[in-house]
Amino acid sequence: MKIGVVVFPGSNCDHDALYAAEKVLGQEAVAIWHDSTDLRGAEAIILPGGFSYGDYLRTGAIARFSPVMTALQRFARDGNPVLGICNGFQILCESGLLPGALLRNAGLRFACRQVHLRVETTDTIATNACQPGQVLRIPIAHGEGNYFADAGTLERLRREQRVVFRYCDEAGEITPASNPNGSVDNIAGICNEGRNVVGLMPHPERAVEAGLGSADGLPVLRSLLNAPVLSAATRLHTPAQGV
Amino acid sequence: MKAYVTVSLKKTVLDPQGKAIQAALQKMGHSGLSEVRQGKYFELVLAPELTQEQARAQVEKAAREVLTNPVMEEYSIRWE
């Protein structure tokens, strides 16, 4: 599978994602500069972590208007796999591809440590290679990871089983103490209606080898490879100009 | 013409920064300040050739679509 990693000015986990895709998963990986108007024929897209545009205005708020996002919107709406990690998740929320928003951490501190996540559904492009209820140990590194959505949206996410990951303790219990940032309902990741767009705050690409402290991010990234590959015509579609 | 746009978190959204500031103020003896909410402030200078109507439309659109994330924020505009 050809995996594209979008690079914004200020992205800083793009190389981790490219490394994971190419060296660990053994796939073809391409970097896609934010100015690009196409996705270089990629069959799956990762929006990596970092501080796109210095987090100015709001996290992900300016990246959302990058030229590449027009192509990405189309790619996502056509049902192709898109994984947004950390800042990538924030960009997906800002662009409306995922509901809700990420607020400042409740404790106001930048949270950088290993956390435990429980896989809440395996019916997404990022969890189909995981076990239901599987507990993953994956690092977080963010200042704005406090997931928020209004009551109606939350109700809908729950009803449609679109909460993909929740922060939990080592045993898989969802507890207030295991919530690192104040996210409503311990939500760490969600998906769209089509289940082909997934965003999460933790960094699976930083947990792909034992030497990194954990390899629990692997089943998440490996899930991308099982996503249905749509026709080349769809992938190579040239998007209309403009935002 | 100038537009002053104030963006703040919706009342229903927790503002941890405002809370931390309020707690600090309390410690400094500002016991009368029972709540603090932090927001953002933008000054937009309008090109002189715009009509008032065009200016208003443009500022409204910018405030609604870019300066604010409607999921968590709201805005108000003051004109001068």
- What ipTM is given for this predicted complex? 0.83
Q: Is residue A239 over pLDDT 50?
A: no
Q: How confident is the model at residue A10 (pLDDT cuts 50, 70, 90)?
A: very high
Neighboring chain A residues of B13 at a CB cutoff of 8 Å = 103, 148
Q: pLDDT tens across A162-201, in order?
A: 999 999 999 999 999 999 999 999 999 999 999 999 999 9
Q: What is the pLDDT of residue A179?
A: 98
Mean pLDDT of A7-16: 97
Q: What are phi and psi of A200, to 5 degrees?
A: -150, 150
Contact B71 A58 (CB under 8 A): no
Please list the ranges in chain B whose pLDDT falls under 70. Answer: none
DSSP A7-41: E-TTB-SHHHHHHIIIIIS--EEEEEETT-SS-TT
CATH (one of 3.40.640.10, 3.40.1350.10, 3.40.50.880, 3.50.50.60) for A2-226 = 3.40.50.880
A 66-105 → B contacts, CB under 8 A? 93-94, 99-101, 103-105
Neighboring chain B residues of A108 at a CB cutoff of 8 Å = 16-17, 20
Contact A150 B17 (CB under 8 A): no
| Catalytic residue (one of A43, A94, A120, A205) | A205
Among A146, A115, A128, smallest CA distance to A198 is for: A128
Does residue A205 have an active-site annotation?
yes
Domain map (residue ranges) of chain A: 2-226
Q: What is the pLDDT of residue A241?
A: 42
Tally of CB atoms within 10 A around A68: 25
Distance to chain A for B50, nearest Cα, Å: 23
Neighboring chain A residues of B71 at a CB cutoff of 8 Å = 93, 99-101, 148-150
DSSP A57-72: SSTTTTGGGSTHHHHH
Contact B69 A94 (CB under 8 A): yes
**Beta-strand relationship, A82-85 and A44-47:** parallel
Mean pLDDT of A44-53: 96
Does residue A93 have an active-site annotation?
no
Neighboring chain B residues of A148 at a CB cutoff of 8 Å = 13, 71-72
| Catalytic residue (one of A86, A130, A168, A191) | A86
Report the share of chain A in percent with pLDDT over 70: 94
Q: What is the pLDDT of residue A200?
A: 98
Q: pLDDT tens across A98-157, in order?
A: 999 999 999 889 999 999 999 999 999 999 999 999 999 999 999 999 999 999 999 999
Mean pLDDT of chain A: 93
Q: Is residue A83 over pLDDT 60?
A: yes
Among A200, A225, A221, smallest CA distance to A212 is for: A221
Contact B13 A103 (CB under 8 A): yes
Q: How confident is the model at residue A230 (pLDDT cuts 50, 70, 90)?
A: low
Q: How confident is the model at residue A217 (pLDDT cuts 50, 70, 90)?
A: very high
CA dihedral A56, A60, A62, A65 (to 10 degrees): 180
Q: What is the pLDDT of residue B14?
A: 87
Q: Is residue B72 less than 8 Å (CB to CB) from chain A? A: yes
Tally of CB atoms within 10 A around A131: 10
Q: How confident is the model at residue A228 (pLDDT cuts 50, 70, 90)?
A: confident
Q: How confident is the model at residue A238 (pLDDT cuts 50, 70, 90)?
A: very low
The sheet that has B73-79: what strands, in order across it? B39-45, B2-9, B73-79
Q: Domains along chain B?
A: 2-79 (3.30.1280.10)
